[in-house]
Amino acid sequence: MTGTPLRIGFIPLVDAAALLVAVDKGFTAAEGLDVTLVREVSWSNVRDKLNIGLFDAAHLLAPVAIASTLGLSQVKVPIIAPFNLGLNGNAITVSPALYAAITGEADGDPANPMVTAKALARVVAARRKSGSEPLTFGMTFPFSTHNYQLRFWMAAGGVDPDEDVRLVVLPPPYMVDSLANGHVDAFCVGAPWNSVAVDLGVGHILHYVSDILERAAEKVLAVRETWALKNSGVLARLTRAHGHAADFIENPDNRTEVSRILGAPERIGVDPEVIRRTLDGRLKISPGGTIRESGRYLLIGREGAARPDPVQAAWLYAQMVRWGQAAYSREALETARKVFRPDLYDAALGAPKTPVRAMQDSVGAFDGPLFDPNDIPAHLASVTIKRRQL
């Protein structure tokens, strides 16, 4: 007997792992689901096909789910996310020339994002004085964690991301070639593309996003709210399959097999060893071979990473307001928070099996006061560089 047919879109990134493993290891089939995975290149394709019903579900940027629900710069289509596909996983990679410039201006340890942000400000000032073109940074989408993470880091050091540099949108698989060709000086993207740039000798990983935000919701399993209401049982089964896949991925004994699954040409299409380094949090960060290990580089299932956290949705909405993409209202904040659905996660999978490490504000930003998800105006009042005044 065939299962319930579903079409799900994804972008070739390691944080699609739970989706890809759920299908390729048979966890979705075990739940009576017959899933067809569709690989896409751009986030706009994924969003649009989800919104008009060509996809039943999607691997989606967390901010896009919020923007779609609020109708920001696009058709208003309410989206919900019952499962978080990944926390963190992004990195800022810079060209060898920019790496040399930043480290040359660094007053302190370049591993500290505040040190590099201030060094970047000095590099930007020197380029302006010499009449050089502004630096160009690649990110994946205007409504993306990559955009907000770059902006948060730059602004902390005094760099205005709209006035002092250029931010351009590039699909994740095109980032490396753009850096190699000199079209961009740096980029922020998810794994494995930072590692690919390092392996090719065209980039240095300057920071993991976990240096900037200790816990940052990255991608979600997204469905239209209207579809979820009509297919609640199917959604519960799909969520449960993802939970089993995340548990499988986080078992170190399965990492070799997972890396092979993800590395397949029709999935992510890179050397499985690069993916293995990502899953282990043990990345080569410079062409010279320097290795950095971090247990927080990418969280897929451990530390409660898969359970949607409305505080993360509130932080993302706050960035939309900060950078002029949305006007603040209490109603919009509540709508944004309700995109992340821990209640649906709990109904399908129960409470997280391991406790989440205690944090004061669930975000852990490297700069500024603690984030209060109930007081966005206070958050915005604490920052100097922003686009919209309340």
Tens-digit pLDDT profile for residues 217-241: 999 999 999 999 999 999 999 999 9
Per-position b or e across 11-27, b if 16+ CB within 10 A of its CB: bbbbbbbbbbbbbbbeb
Q: Tokens in use for 305?
A: 């990473």
Residue listed under structure tokens 């579903």: 6
Query: Are 222 and 58 spatial neighbours (Cβ–Cβ below 8 Å)?
Result: yes
Mean pLDDT of all residues in 170-177: 92
Q: How confident is the model at residue 355 (pLDDT cuts 50, 70, 90)?
A: low
Q: How confident is the model at residue 181 (pLDDT cuts 50, 70, 90)?
A: very high
Kindly report the number of other CB atoms within 10 A of residue 230's CB atom. 10
pLDDT of residue 351: 77
Q: From CA 168, how far away is CA 85, in angstroms rounded?
A: 25
- Residues in the chain, how many? 390
Q: Tokens in use for 300?
A: 């897929």
Q: How confident is the model at residue 357 (pLDDT cuts 50, 70, 90)?
A: low
Q: From CA 292, how far away is CA 39, in angstroms rounded?
A: 30
Please indicate, yes or no, whether the overall pTM of this predicted structure exceeds 0.85.
Answer: yes
Q: How confident is the model at residue 188 (pLDDT cuts 50, 70, 90)?
A: very high
pLDDT of residue 41: 87
Q: Write down the mean pLDDT value for the chain.
A: 94
Residue listed under structure tokens 């920071």: 207
Least confident of 52-61, 86-95, 352-361: 352-361
In eight-state DSSP terms, residue 365 is B
Mean pLDDT of all residues in 202-231: 97
pLDDT of residue 271: 93
Mean pLDDT of all residues in 325-339: 97
Q: Tokens in use for 219?
A: 């991608």
pLDDT of residue 388: 64
Of the chain, the percentage scoring pLDDT greater than 70 comes to 97
Is domain 4-87+217-265+303-369 classified as CATH 3.40.1280.10?
no
Of 95, 296, 333, which Cα lies nearest the Cα of 209?
Answer: 296
Residue 251, pLDDT above cutoff 50: yes
Q: What is the CATH number of domain 90-211?
A: 3.40.190.10
Kindly report the number of other CB atoms within 10 A of residue 355's CB atom. 9
Residue 390, pLDDT above cutoff 50: no
Range list for CATH 3.40.190.10 in the chain: 4-87+217-265+303-369, 90-211
